[in-house]
Structure 1
Amino acid sequence: MVRNKILVTGTAGFIGFHLVRKLLERGDEVVGLDSINDYYDVRLKFDRLAETGIKINDDSASWNRLIQSEKYPNYRFIRLNLEDRDELEELFSEEKFDNVCHLAAQAGVRYSLKNPDAYISANIVGFINILECCRHHGVKALSYASSSSVYGLNETQPFCTSHNVDHPVSLYAASKKSNELMAHTYSHIFNLPTTGLRFFTVYGPWGRPDMALFIFTKAILEGRPINVFNYGEMKRDFTYVDDIIDGVVRVIDNPARENNLWSAKTPDPGSSKAPYKIYNIGNSSPVRLMDFIEALESKLGRKAEKNMMPLQAGDVHATYADVSDLTADLGYKPSVDVVTGIGRFIDWYRDYYQIKKQEK
């Protein structure tokens, strides 16, 4: 029995791929959407899709048409640009989704320093198109990816959704904060339940090659030095992907509701008198970067050669998620420690790239 019909955007991406598998395994009908941009190696994105039974190539024939999964009868995929309003409208009109989980975005803090236009197109134009389609096509609730980067210059730890987030330090962070503001407008005016998810340093199998764990692992195995920024004096709330997916599914199943205690005189930024909510999703247990590297070295059985470097533009010194409201409201409880999580990633990495070698 099908539970819900859900559109998940960003399904060739790291979190979207894992979310699709979870939803399919429990019986939801899912349509996945992704543009498969070349921000990082598209082969990894196509391989993620293949794991869910979507066999397509990087050619013009793969665009703007629904493709049936060869593995899951309740899964179809469409390659589509979020900026293409007409194609997106047609998809919503034909499919009549119950829920939308919007994870697609132009990712990366440092890349936003080099290519700002990509963030406006994907994260701002793409997001307004999603909001408009939800509004006009009877979607019951929207959940969407925000980011811990919105906390910017805030140094109050742990980061809480009641904190001010008006001082971003990258355009990526500013685009995610903009999404939260845009979502509130649609919740307020059109009564569309929206929930923003501030992810904290997600890692795990099938992860992104531009993230630290992937970069460090590849370099250490190849005998190359790793760049350790801020001279290693950084902390990150590394969160294993299975814990993230557990939180996302709980949010999908529990759309935002009005906060009847919300006061316009002392406004809580994380909720509203409209059906609007912001949650942190993290491990709530920050790890020193050097401790993270040591755990990686232990699993690999190799020492890393380290280039100690200053903090990069757009980076923050520490992230630490207060997830108490997600725990209280929806029973979220992360359970995978960083040593276990790194071990699972390394096992996947060795297996995946050994297979890729054999395919050459």
Structure 2
Amino acid sequence: MLDIADELNRWLEEGRDFAVATVVAVSGSAPRGPGAALAVDADGTAIGSVSGGCVEGTVYDLCAQALQDGEVVRERFGYSDDDAFAVGLTCGGVIDVLVTPLPADAPGRKVFQAALSAAVRGEAAALARVVRGPAELLGRALAVHPDGSYEGELGGTPDLDRTVVDETRSLLNAGRTGTFDIAEDGSHCEPGLTLYVESSVPPPRMLVFGAIDFAAALVRIGKFLGYHVTVCDARPVFATRVRFPEADDIVVDWPHRYLHRTRTDGRTVVCVLTHDAKFDVPLLEAALRLPVAYVGAMGSRRTHEDRERRLQEAGLTEVELTRLHSPIGLDLGARTPEETALSIAAEIVAARQGGAGLPLSGSHTPIHHDTGGQRSDAVGARVAA
């Protein structure tokens, strides 16, 4: 739902009545993942998408009905073996959709607005919703902030809200969207509730070291993938806005020195394109000891062997060295800067999503990898909002 936060926040500010359908679980191959949303207002205006077209019409009708009867609904959509034209996903997957009516006088509207407005401002926030459990709790939500403050209440025991906030903060701090199970009293014994958490966090960072032509192409594709891209080089004649107009930040500094002083987290990717030992070795020595998502370094296989020897001499362990993607990128036969940037981006996506980087046509692994621990329990409960 937070993927259409701008439009939904505007609808809230305008006082519109609307209902929003959110994908809360996916099994198998599906066009869109958890968090995808479709919203319909009282005039029939629709924004967003839950399936790229497969079940949009039916979900649209569910939203319109939810606005009329005020009921929260969770529905499952999957492929129909009996009738390929029946309402379902012809790609063979299964999605669970939670439909929540949010008329202007809905008690939970302020909770949604707190999460949506934070997302619009680029601040970290998460929306935790009950997607499996007793009818009276289904659809209840909390808006949770990184400092542990929150809006809303689930209506169970006081321990329930506190435990949900703690679990939600763990997902938020990791920048993850996912689910967790919990008991109605807030314990983890005999869980009776499933909470779905959508996290909205600032864009992940891509740190590109080495202001070369390949870096310019990588900046463009990094922005396309949604990264906040920084280019760093110790040479001021190369690290300029003219050469990298699309970069968010351009830093003139020694790479390892900048890496030590800048902010990184578990979503940060580090791309070392300098292929110069005086820059590479101290930079990689620092990067491979940080809890970042990806570290890759450009260079020939001979350069890689020399670099690895130097890093071993600098004290890096075998375990730390296994984190290094070098030579950087997947084997696409790339030659131009743009092709090379594509190969680097493909490796970053594969590392993030757990992909093998092999042609789908020749493999038998799932097309969509489940990296978020999503559940897909069928829930047929309906509850008055």
The TM-score normalised by the length of structure 1 is 0.28
The TM-score normalised by the length of structure 2 is 0.27
Larger strand proportion of the pair: 2
Q: Give 1 or 2 for the bigger CA radius of gyration.
A: 2
